[in-house]
Structure 1
Amino acid sequence: MKNISLARIQGQWPDIATVNSWLLILLAFTFMDSIAIGNILLTLILILWVFEGNFSEKFQAIRYNPFALAAVAFVGLHFLGLLWTSDWEFAAFILKKEFKYLMIPVLMTVLKREHIPYYLLAFFLSMLLLVGISYSIYLEIMPPYAIFGLEKVEDPTPFVGHIVYNPVLAFTLYLLLYAVFLWKPLSLPLKVLGLVVFVIMGVDMFLTQGRMGQVVFLVLLSLFVFQFYQGKLLKPALIALALVATIAPAAYVFSPVVQDRVNLAVYEVQNYEQEPNSSMGLRVIMLLNSFEMIQENPLLGVGTGDYRQEYIKVNQENFPEADRGEVLNHPHNVYVQEMVQFGVLGLLVLGYMFYAMLSLYRRSTSPLRPVMLAFPVFYFVIFFSDGYIMDHYLTFLFLLLGSLLYVDDQRSRD
């Protein structure tokens, strides 16, 4: 009798796989709000994944997935780069950042196909919440509470800075367009509501200071036009051009934030030698110094951990006046960063990651196929402007959506 009762009780509890999938939904909803919560949830998912076992089955599920293999190769390259590294303290910092990419194969075996809509919905609702807070602060409905982590009231991007907020908002806006125009199960009332939300969130994009987010939004908008008019070339090209030619000037004219940021960027780039410690001036100088480092170490780079100490040497020779008292952890360009660390080998491994995503996109029959193309386009663009491959929020977005989009095609179709 006791055994029967125990079996009934056990049957009422969800299995580990289901609990892990719920944690993944929670991660999708919270990772933009808190670094600590994101790390805790990712750790819990890994612990439960190990405790669950079934490693042979999990290995079979990911062994032939090129995206999973690319993630392993990327992390493996950072361990290989330790062979020619002398700054072990900075190398440990880098490894701590990049080691998370090994979670891609893990998350691919945690995902439940029946929960895929919930992962996406949780992410969207989290961004909707952030946009609501952003508007409330901008309109002075809500004071900029310290909990929101706001450095400037005039840049109301809660919890994260505009460098993160605007790019993630840009991809959220693309997902809205996909849902409204390309996802057939969505009802007409929800499509109308989606368009209204798109306009509201789109306006917020140009009330905040993230220039790269605004650029990548226009890129993704143009891509979507081509995806909507699939198989055609001239018509979507003209529409995309018209949209960009309308939105970009309108944003510049009607948004003081956009106008000030564009003018400031142009001025700082043109005068980087006179004002080397300005935001854009320092980026120009970091790139110039990094190019010299690449010329000196073209094949294998300086190693996983030697960027910082080598940069100090080069900068002291070229731009000693460009000194804020600290050396940034990357040159604000992922492609340059990988070449400084690992030379041509680093660029090849990073390129393989993009190739893997595009390869899976080409042969996919998933309803999410358009998103599978937008995702690498999004990262390809933003990688030019900052060290997003080391950023907590953009890394978590990469892990979450990358695992979801490029898991085996059967799951995506279902």
Structure 2
Amino acid sequence: MPVTDQRMTEPVMGPAEALSELFTPAGKHHPYPLYDALWELGPVIPLGPAGMLVLGYDEICTALRDSRFLVTDAAVHRTTGMNEHSSWQCFTKIMMFSNSPDHERMRRFAGWAYAPRQVAERRLLAIRAAERWTSHLATLAGGGDGGDEGGDGGPVDLVEAFATRVPITVTGELLGIPDADRMPLRTAITATTTAFEPVFDRDELLPADAGMDVLVDYIADLVRERRRRPGDDLVSAMVRDRDTAGALSEEELVASLVMFVIAGVQSPSDLIGNTVRLALDHPAEGLRLTTDDDFASAFITEALRIDPPNHVLTRAAATDIDFYGHRVAAGTRALLVLAAANRDPRQFTDPATFDTARKDSRPLSFGLGPHYCLGAAFARMQVEAAVPVLLRRFPRMTLAAPPTYRDQLVTRGFARMDVALGS
């Protein structure tokens, strides 16, 4: 039954206040009332002479398809000083932050790794990872032997003990990262994503730089090792392809693999957390999620719409553009608020309502157009595989406390989610 969560959707202030609040810690934790308030200003909101906020579904679709709106690559950042930071030195060497022709060259090189057949073949790996970490959850909660029921040892943090561990296990297996090395990389992975947030003081990039340094050093060592001793893993295959065809530089190869780690872990982890919370809030749908694969797919599509792991993409105008009645000057930064577009009342009936029966729902949570996320199907597959395993194992799981969020909006997810597994 569709249910509207008024706590997440009811406007609480005017649009000017909402705009000033959006990138504060409180605004990042509870952005949906702010998006609702900002809609009073329309689907496109100018932010002075060099910025704009775009909330509308059609407007964002247009911007994502328009080659005059550039991703923020090294050239765009030439005057910002971001290129001096190791986080952005790496990010601007990957397809996500490259424009033509580099974007197409990098996408051709890595595309096979995300092909439908490759994703389908990894599903069993994701299921096995979920089974492993549900047993771990049972042990943490006092189950001792990891039996079918959770114990009575108190709540466990689902983010640390499951939502993070499933994708880092899957990604680690694919890249040939030893089991003992995987969780120690987790802090570095999350730290790098803070670089995507709007930066008001360049010192805010220091945690992202530190995390990136860890990941780049680790992956560069792994590349060198696989070049000496190839294995049956993705790193070995990409090293071989790179050395044979020369399509990427060594730095681009390392950066691409670093991004595979970051994107392969962070978005699925956040989406697992969001999906589980929605399943606990809507128990009838959560139960059906465990028995009906088609319904599970619809559930996750709606989870991506109503509470996505990625809220904002940034574009920069390459030239002067007339955009839905607004004159956009060259160099203007456009903040495309995907999470607001996913609740555009012109596109979705009752947009604040979680409704798995929606027809032809196409949330923008993984972007659109030439830069549509290459790993979208890989992320979805992990969630579709893992969440039913978890809910079947712990059918009486409940939230033990309100979840808390990381201090991020662009990549938004839970910092902690304490659950009681049931007994």
> Would you say same fold, with TM above 0.5?
no
> Which structure exhibits the higher relative contact order, with contacts defined as CA atoms closer than 8 Å and separated by 6 or more residues?
2
Q: TM-score with structure 1 length normalisation?
A: 0.25
Looking at secondary structure, tell me which structure has more helix per residue.
Answer: 1
Looking at secondary structure, tell me which structure has more strand per residue.
Answer: 2
Q: TM-score with structure 2 length normalisation?
A: 0.24
